[in-house]
Structure 1
Amino acid sequence: MTGVVPGEFPFQNTDIQRLDVFRIATPKMWLYKFLFCLYLVCNSIHYAAVSGEPTPPDADYYIGAVVEFPARTVNAAASTQQRLRQFGVLLESSAIRPDIVVFPEDVLNDHDTPIVVPAPSDDVITCNADDAHYNYIISRMSCYARSLGLYVLINVVEVHNCTQSQNVSDLVANCAIYNANVVFDRHGVVISRYRKYNLIGSEWLYFNYTSQPEEEAIFRTDFNVTFGHFTRMDLLYARPAQTLVQRGITDFLHPSKWQSELPFLTAVQLHQSWAFSNNVNLLVAGTNDPSRGRSGTGIYAGRYGVLIATMTSVEKQSKLHLSVIPKHNVSSEKVLKIFKPRQRNLKAQLNNNNQSVLERFTGVVVTRDNNIDLYVTQPLVDATQTSGPLQQQLCHNDLCCNFHIEMHANTLATASTVSYYYRLAAFHDMGTFLNTEPDELAVCAIFACTGDHLYTCGRIYEEGVQVVPRYIFDIIRISGNFTRQRPSLLAPTSVDNLLMPLPVDEFEWQLQAHSNFTLANLTLLQPRSDLLTFGIYGNYFLNDTIYDHHHQNDATTLSSTLLLILILLHLQVNL
């Protein structure tokens, strides 16, 4: 298992963590004042959490929890009750009482066993309700929320607006089936129900999509935080995720079953990048199915980066992760200054020394992004033999990427050692998400390859291969002129050999808006020898005139289908 250690926050994984005192080059009186302030804040948080008292509305923080949970491996109906009991054990055994808990996607039931979910407008407590009205999933989770005094989010397959039938094909044909998030308040009342808006692949065969995703995906809590929530691929689209950010929502819940993809869309890499770029809190509960590339659970605090993040190779792992989360207001600065996150990997690379065998994580099967076959790329020239830094410009369509790289050779690397190769890349055109959904992307990046050719990029060496870095990157500066013709999200993206993003204090991110383009600048501040990806990732949100994601009429459906076929043919030609 690999992960990023949270900072000096008092809680991690249901344990009270020792607080390290910062090195302060000041007189002792300042140290005494600092420790006294630390005591007061920690004591108030500790009392509220351990005593089970809810976090007060005027607090600068709240306590959030995310659960990683194994994927279903047997028939959903046979395993659901056992999984619900495991949910309860995780919640009841926690020494720290969180305010809100998020469970992963697709771990309770499936489209063969959909359930009825009450509407928030019903204002009903389903705990111990008659099973003829509400399934035991809904009643049991209502009881957990009420007895423990928690806000709880679960993800289920919901059936709506039809009579129950034993014939699954009848359900799919005659009823509305949704991938749905359900939120319970501390009294066990269903207060929010979101139905997934962005369907991909085979989901179109089984599921319907909601018509008003933004209205369904918001709820307010008694600790004075308003949340938005969505599911898996929703994160990459304008609706509902980006629209909620534009509305001023600053805290998000995200049950996920993410399939990691290199170079840009591994789970923790993407989640930190999205939260950082939007400067929002993001709580992600991930389903563990590492043999199929699915893992990734974490809590992210906007520009402050990772509070907790983990990926695991353990198929059956179930675990509750806790963190104090600062609210997005002026006083949240105080919390983060006291509990300053020390964002570093479990076994951080020494910055300036020569590196021997790299620490790597290969426990999740990671797929390759075939879009990169369409990129303009160039092998990284060995600048260690030259007197100055490498300066290079690559352009693709209207995007030009400028690279400034300073690096030195690792003397421990020899002709017989295995090392990663690197390519510089530029791209602005139509591509796909996870090789399925069409989208417009713009990228300036450097990424790792296992050989000299482009088709080896986006891959990692297998488990057991000892990899010695050929270079240590001292400084990397990447800039690009990204068009403003369409709404987009520009984000810094990075991932290392542990499949973790770089800590936010190891890079600098700047955006400069001009009349028709945005100049994005990304700089590596700390030497690294273990990079798989470092770059700028631009996601341009398509509208219905370009790609009708929800097939509103036959004409747009046909055009989007032809567009997808053209993209796939282009990929095949370039393979």
Structure 2
Amino acid sequence: MISLSSSWHMFVFILVMGSRAFALDTYIAAVYEHPVILAKNASQLVSSAEALKLMNKNIDILEEAITSAANQGAHIIVTPEDGIYGFGFTRETFFPYLEDIPDPQVNWIPCIDPERFGPSPVQERLSCLARHNSIYVVANIGDKKPCNSSDLKCPKDGRYQYNTNVVFNSDGKLVARYHKSNLFMIEQLLYDSPEEPELVTFETSFGKFGLFTCFDILFHDPAVTLISNLHVDTILFPTAWMNVLPHLTAVEFHSAWAMGMRVNFLAANIHRPSLNMTGSGIYGPDGSRTYHYDLKTLNGRLLVAELDSQPSRSPSYLPSLNWNLYASAMEPFTQDHNFTGFIFFDEYTFSELTKEAGNLTVCQKGLCCHLSYKMTEKHEDEHYVLGAFDGLHVVEGEYYLQVCTLLKCRSTDLQTCGDSVTTAHTHFDSFSLSGTFSTNYVFPEVLLSGVQLAPGEFQVLSDGRLMSQNRTSQPVLTVTLFGRWYEKDPPHPYTHHIIF
């Protein structure tokens, strides 16, 4: 006779072994770059019905992408920040677009029970799209939460408004809700930040997922904590990203962040070339799987690719990196004449690459950047420099940077070094870049002519060197180690002042 205790242990064993049997080693991911339809006059107050009419137009487009992704075997799809209602609102005119989004612990499938928490037509439709296509759907919508005078932080209009990511699983169940912490500039006039950054994760048969939104990526919380403390396998990243060369284009920085943090990263951007918005991708710790960057057309783009469910178990995964190890052990190379210049309002120390091959060191404060390189052929009308920056960035947010960068100047005038450049003609046979970083959060960027990535053309060594694998396939725009020294950020880095 089998005891009740033995039966229970047998049940648990079968349950655990069954879940392992159904766990997937890889999965198919999708992101959609969406040409969002905007309100004709976002500063004008409309009815809830009119707001829903606009949102349904955008969801109609997203539906095509979701269905197509599911037909290609995708397990999950990410759509952009602001992708359902757009932008340009005031706090008042945005209110008709909001829904009450409950805590996922309520165990709710809006597709089956849409009125459980009041009118929720957007959540209902997203839930049904996930359920009917058997796919996880990640979307960005607006959440509203009432408050009153007993809450000393309650806004004057009696409600909190949050920029919110939601995730519906393949049954249509709400499994995640994230309120954006780090609001970008004028977002602070429209949204509220949660009192503390939220750490939102959920688990699936194809890995553990975390999510945050756009500007969050530049700060420690919640972005870094999700990986360092909660050990997620994949980050889901709705964004409305405006590209800033040479270091902060979407595909460049997001792919570098995935490599630096050694995590999968699914980035879905708005497509609006007039605002310099493009750049979506599916990235692994070892580089891009697929990406899209297009400022010439008005078309959206669906990207689909396979990823490791648990990248930390991949043979190519580097379990640890010491970005300071190689550079701190070497003697500085000869420093030629240095000069200063600006990149995105930060004052860099530069040194020009005057020869077709050589070694350079440039230092600023405690950071010394070392470069060894060989050009295929140096074009007389193209100048390259090695730059170093060690300081607090204070425009469009405050965050401390340590950056080593090899980049092409916009013209032969060295005062243009650091300006936006999209094309080049000089190939590099080899390069090796390293720095004496005081932080171990460093993101390796390689950007080629035409704002193209270079998957498989470079490697990051465990001692902190960013090295070419062979001759670059396209001319080089920049090779950069973009470091974030989070400990030197001002207090409460998720609250930012508006700077014009």
| 8 Å Cα contact 1:60-1:332 kept in structure 2 | no
Partners of 1:403 and 1:420 lie apart in 2 by 18
Distance of aligned partners of 1:527 and 1:251 in 2 relative to their CA distance in 1, 3 Å threshold: same
Query: Are residues 542 and 452 of structure 1, via their aligned partners in 2, closer, same or farther at CA, if it must alter by over 3 Å?
Result: farther
The aligned counterpart of 2:476 is 531
Q: Deviations over 1:128-181 (max 9, x none)?
A: 624981321111111111111111110012111259xxxxxx987321001000
Q: CA deviation at 1:307?
A: 0.8
Of the three residues 130, 135, 153, the one matched with 1:150 is 135
Is structure 2 residue 384 aligned with structure 1 residue 425?
A: no
Q: Distance in 1 between matches of 2:421 and 2:400?
A: 30
Match of 2:212 in 1: 230
Matched, 1:250 2:250: no
- Residue pair 1:277, 1:489 contacting (<8 A) in 2 also: yes
Aligned-partner residue type, residue 458 of structure 2:
F
Tell me the TM-score normalised to structure 1 length.
0.69
Aligned to 2:185: 201
Contact 1:408 1:474 in 2 (8 A): yes
CA distance in structure 2 between the partners assigned to 1:152 and 1:228 by the alignment: 14
After the TM superposition, list the runs of 4 or more consecutive aligned residues in structure 1 that deviate by more than 4 angstroms: 329-334
Q: How does 1:105-120 map to 2 (within 5 A)?
A: 105-109=81-85, 112=94, 113-120=97-104
Shift of 1:105: 0.6
- Number of the residue aligned with 1:490: 442
| Distance change (3 Å), C-alpha of 1:56 and 1:530 | farther
SS of equivalent to 1:261: coil
Tell me, what secondary structure is at the counterpart of 1:437?
coil
Which residue number corresponds to residue 465 of structure 2?
A: 521
User: SS of the residue aligned with 2:360?
Assistant: strand
Matched position secondary structure for 1:375 = strand
2:282·2:288 contact (CA, 8 Å) conserved in 1? yes
Q: 1:242 to 1:133 in 2, by over 3 A?
A: same
Deviations 1:11-53 (A, max 9, x none): xxxxxxxxxxxxxxxxxxxxxxxxxxxxxxxxxxxxxxxxxxx
Deviations 1:532-572 (A, max 9, x none): 1112111111467x333356xxxxxxxx87xx98xx9xxxx
Q: Give 1:328's aligned residue.
A: 310
2:436 aligns to what SS in structure 1? strand
Q: Which amino acid aligns with 1:255?
A: P
Distance 1:97 1:525 in 2: 33
From the superposition, tell whether residues 158 and 214 of structure 1 become closer, same or farther in structure 2 (CA, over 3 Å).
closer
Matches within 5 A, 1:266-285: 266-285=249-268
Which AA in structure 2 matches 1:480?
G
Q: CA deviation at 1:454?
A: 4.6
**What's the counterpart of residue 140 of structure 1?**
125
In 2 relative to 1, CA 162–81 (structure 1 residues): closer, same or farther, beyond 3 Å?
farther
In 2, the alpha carbon distance for the partners of 1:461 and 1:265 equals: 12
Return the alpha-carbon distance in structure 1 between the equivalents of residues 213 and 36 of structure 2.
16
Distance (Å, rounded) in 2 between the aligned partners of 1:473 and 1:97: 39
Task: Tell me what 2:16 maps to.
Answer: none
1:227 Cα deviation from its structure 2 partner: 0.4
Letter matched to residue 429 of structure 2: D
In structure 1, distance between residues paired with 2:129 and 2:20: 18
Contact 2:285–2:311 (CA under 8 A) maintained in structure 1? no
CA distance in 2, matches of 1:532, 1:489: 23
Which amino acid counterpart does residue 254 of structure 1 have in structure 2? F
Alpha-carbon separation, structure 2, partners of 1:264 and 1:56: 43
Contact 2:424 2:477 in 1 (8 A): no
How far apart in 2 are the matches of 1:139 and 1:449? 51
CA 1:420 to 1:91, structure 2 compared with 1: closer, same or farther past 3 Å?
same
Aligned residue for 1:71, secondary structure, equals coil
- Partner amino acid, structure 2, of 1:256: T
Q: What whole-Å deviation, never above 9, does each CA across 1:400-455 have from its counterpart, x for those lacking one?
A: 11222222426xx6x7xxx43211111111124xx311111111111111223454
5+ unaligned residues in a row in structure 2: which ranges?
1-18, 43-50, 149-153, 318-341
Q: How does 1:404-553 map to 2 (within 5 A)?
A: 404-409=372-377, 419-432=381-394, 435-460=395-420, 469=425, 471-484=426-439, 488-503=440-455, 505-512=456-463, 520-528=464-472, 530-542=475-487, 546-550=490-494
How far 1:59 sits from its partner (Å)?
A: 2.3
Distance 1:477 1:289, change over 3 A: same
Cα distance between partner residues in 1 of 2:253 and 2:244:
10
2:348 aligns with one of 375, 384, 397: 375
Which string of whole-angstrom CA distances, capped at 9 and with x for unpartnered residues, describes residues 49-79 of structure 1? Answer: xxxxx99732211111111101333247242
Q: Which amino acid aligns with 1:194?
A: Y
Once the two structures are superposed, what CA deviation does each residue of 1:248-285 show, in whole Å capped at 9, x if it has no partner? 11211101111111111111111110111111111111
Shift of 1:333: 4.9
Determine helix, strand or coil for the equivalent of 1:83: helix
Q: Are the counterparts in 1 of residues 279 and 294 from structure 2 also a CA contact under 8 Å? A: yes
C-alpha contact 2:343 2:419 (8 A) present in aligned 1: no
Identity of aligned residues (%): 27
- Candidates 217, 228, 245, aligned match of 1:262: 245
Contact 1:172 1:206 in 2 (8 A): no
Residues in 2 aligned to 1:511 and 1:331: alpha-carbon distance in whole angstroms: 17
Q: Deviations over 1:464-520 (max 9, x none)?
A: xxx772x43222222211125xxx5112112111212222x32232344xxxxxxx3
- SS of 2:34 mapped into structure 1: strand
Q: Which amino acid aligns with 2:444?
A: P
The alignment's C-alpha RMSD in Å is: 2.9
Matches within 5 A, 1:162-181: 173-181=157-165
Change (3 A) 1:477 1:408: same
Aligned partners of 2:292, 2:203: CA distance in 1, in Å? 28
Structure 1 partner of 2:326: none
Q: In structure 2, the residue corresponding to 1:288 is in which secondary structure?
A: coil
* 1:88 aligned partner: 63
Deviates more, 1:170-179 or 1:317-326: 170-179
Determine helix, strand or coil for the equivalent of 1:482: coil
Cross-structure match for 2:369: 401
CA distance in 2, matches of 1:369, 1:157: 34
Q: For each residue in 1:276-296, what CA deviation from the matched residue of structure 2 results, as whole angstroms up to 9, or x when unmatched?
A: 111111111111012211111
Find the counterpart in structure 2 of residue 103 from structure 1: 79
Following superposition, the deviation at residue 329 of structure 1 comes to: 5.8
Inter-partner Cα distance in structure 2 for 1:239 and 1:153: 20
Give the distance between the partners of 1:405 and 1:177, measured in 2 at CA. Answer: 51
Does the CA-based 8 Å contact 1:214-1:244 persist in structure 2?
Answer: no
Q: Could you tell me how far apart the structure 1 residues matched to 2:78 and 2:361 are?
A: 44
Q: Relative to structure 1, is the Cα distance of residues 550 and 67 closer, same or farther in structure 2, using a 3 angstrom cutoff?
A: closer
Give distance in 2, aligned partners of 1:301 and 1:177.
33
- 2:74 counterpart letter in structure 1: P
- Give the counterpart of 1:289 among 261, 272, 283: 272
When residues 213 and 56 of structure 1 are mapped into structure 2, their CA distance, relative to the original with a 3 A threshold, is farther
State how many pairs are aligned.
431
CA contact (8 A) 1:117 1:134 kept: no
Structure 1 residue ranges without an equivalent (≥5)? 1-53, 164-169, 337-367, 513-519, 552-559, 569-575
Alpha-carbon separation, structure 2, partners of 1:312 and 1:182: 27
CA distance in 2, matches of 1:227, 1:154: 14
Tell me: CA distance 1:535–1:89, structure 2 relative to 1, closer, same or farther (3 Å): closer
Q: Distance in 2 between matches of 1:543 and 1:211?
A: 21
Per the alignment, do residues 87 and 171 of structure 1 end up closer, same or farther by CA in structure 2, a change over 3 Å counting? farther
